[in-house]
Amino acid sequence: MEYFGIIIGAIFVSNIVLAQFLGICPFLGVSGKVSTSVGMSGAVLFVMTLATLVTWLIYVYVLVPLGITFLQTISFILVIAALVQMVEIILKKVSPPLYQALGIFLPLITTNCAVLGVALLTQSKNYDLLEAIVFAVANAIGFGLAMILFSGLREHLNLMMVPKGMRGVPIALVTAGILAMAFMGFAGMV
């Protein structure tokens, strides 16, 4: 039941994008088309899960024993950047089709603060390794859900007659706000 609460909470109640406002840059920048949102969501799922696993292990087995937990944020940033670069190199060699499918999304994830946010939140919530992985996967699914819903709405808005002053970013921000309010309806579930 505890894992169910983590999953529902991360996807719907405290969505990483719509409630915690992490990962807003790719949310607004890459959400123009549903196809790009799906690609970005898949890349975020992969990297967020792997980054959380590695940062949790580094925190528990390196930073805490050495008494240098104050270096948590900077070490997590370095680990995530290095991890994304290693994944990119490995995918290029091992699976060129997957590398091509992820395309520009892998380098974009290096600067996605949602990945760092989830890694830091797992430590602040004192999750064990399995809870941390479940939390990371659920947050990535929540990120993907928000991205795909938002991109679908944006594609639909492109077909509508939006007033000239509201076209582009203004209507996107209004739509994101309404979507965030819709997700607030899940509050109290967990």
Dist CA 23 CA 41 (whole Å): 11
pTM equals 0.88
Per-residue pLDDT of the chain (190 residues; tens, 9 = 90+): 689 999 999 999 999 999 998 988 888 877 888 888 888 888 889 889 999 999 999 999 999 999 999 999 999 999 999 988 887 888 788 778 777 766 677 777 777 789 999 999 999 999 999 999 999 999 999 999 999 999 999 999 888 898 999 988 899 899 999 999 998 888 877 6
Nearest of 170, 166, 181 to residue 28 by alpha carbon:
170
Say what the pLDDT of residue 137 is.
Answer: 97
Say what the pLDDT of residue 125 is.
Answer: 95
DSSP class of 166: G
Dist CA 160 CA 142 (whole Å): 27
Cα 48 from chain centroid? 7
Burial of 176 (0-12, 13-18, 19+ CB in 10 A): buried
Dist CA 186 CA 166 (whole Å): 29
Say what the pLDDT of residue 1 is.
Answer: 64
Dist CA 158 CA 181 (whole Å): 22
Q: 22 and 109 in contact (C-beta within 8 Å)?
A: no
